[in-house]
Amino acid sequence: MRTSDFDYFLPPEFIAQTPIEPRDASRLLVLHRSDGHIQHRRFRDITSYLQKGDLLVANDSRVIPARLFGHKIPTGGKVELLLIKKRDDGNWDVLLKPGRRVKPGTVLAIHSITGTNAEASTIHPAPEMTAHVLASTEGGGRVISFSQPIEPLLDHIGMIPLPPYIHAPLENPERYQTIYARVRGSVAAPTAGLHFTPELVQRLQQQGVEFAFVTLHISMDTFRPVHETNVEEHRMYSEYCEMPRETCEAINRARREGRRVIAIGTTTVRVLETAALRLQAGETALKPFTGYTDLFIYPGFQFRVVDAMVTNFHLPRSTLLMLVAAFAGKDLIDRAYQEAIRERYRFYSFGDAMLIL
């Protein structure tokens, strides 16, 4: 399977730069796998497609202020850091800009900031906060050791990172969080959940729809294009995830009773299907787990848990696009994306949504 098969052209003006208000006013493309039928609605109309007993499972990970600023000691050269993942030894995998100029052995002074975006912020050195560049990583990043634990300081020295295709400043950082985000750890939002409002969740619950949660801390690797010529050669960056006991029990009940399990977002899909792959021969009930997943889902994958999903429109050549193509069929996803472009949908993180039934 060739990576180039998952490429498509998107006019730049279709890349959403700001979130729509209110959240559930975004558009919703409803894709019916049974007959290929496509409908165009608003996200708040999702109530028309969900029924009593449906179980919606969402990723409750919260985006951390993972974008940091600093300078090299003693030259003063400016450096931008993006925290990717904390290692078991307490060090961090990071991406640096400009990365090539920051070699292992470099010492960085970390800045604190005031303001909501870097361009409008006051930047000054944080007291006694330094970072030592220990090594390079395979993906072009660096391993960093901070002079003190960074997590308690992030709210004071960090900014919420936005994907590189978003150029407009984000006035309210909470708009890049889902309303149910609670477990800090992601460097990007599980964007399918950005469309839900408290009022919409309440209406769905009154309708008899149930909610459950998993956690997957998203790294930027989730969104980066696949560079290998053949899809099968790509390897996913492992991401931390949790499948709680109460969520397992809710899913197992729904499956026994023939009710639908609907995943909110591709990250949720990966947690649920990882849980299914951990089952031993003859087992059917999902079990709770905590750990890492590097599950890469592309066409040919056999889904065992997810019956339907809510998702956004994804970048060309991305693992996310390959996942939805695996779920709905590549030809149907190709047709849905082309129709979304013709209908001038908004794409990517702050864009519109798709419900795949």
Q: Which domains does the chain have, with CATH numbers?
A: 3-63+172-356 (3.40.1780.10), 67-157 (2.40.10.240)
Over the chain (357 residues), the average pLDDT of each successive run of 10 is 96 97 98 97 98 98 94 91 90 89 91 58 62 88 93 90 92 96 96 98 98 94 80 91 98 98 98 96 93 96 98 96 98 98 98 98
Contact between 354 and 31 (Cβ < 8 Å):
yes
What is the signed CA dihedral for 222, 225, 228, 229, rounded to 10 degrees? 130
Please say whether the beta carbons of 240 and 292 come within 8 A: yes
What CA–CA distance (Å, rounded) separates 255 from 234? 32
Q: C-alpha distances in angstroms, 166 versus 16, 123, 208?
A: 7, 22, 37
- CA nearest 104: which of 126, 80, 86, 131? 131
Residue 15: predicted pLDDT = 97
In the block, residue with structure tokens 């193509």? 325
Tokens for 229, please give them. Answer: 């010529």
Query: In sequence order, what DSSP letters do the residues of 255-322 get, joined into one string?
Result: HHTT--EEEESHHHHHHHHHHHHTPPTT--S---EEEEE-----TT---SS-SEEEEE---TTBHHHH
What integer pLDDT is reported at residue 114 of this predicted model? Answer: 56
Looking at the chain, how many residues does it have? 357
Question: What is residue 226's DSSP assignment?
Answer: P
Write down the pLDDT at residue 226.
87
pLDDT of 35 reads 96
User: What's the maximum distance between 2 C-alpha atoms anywhere in the chain?
Assistant: 65
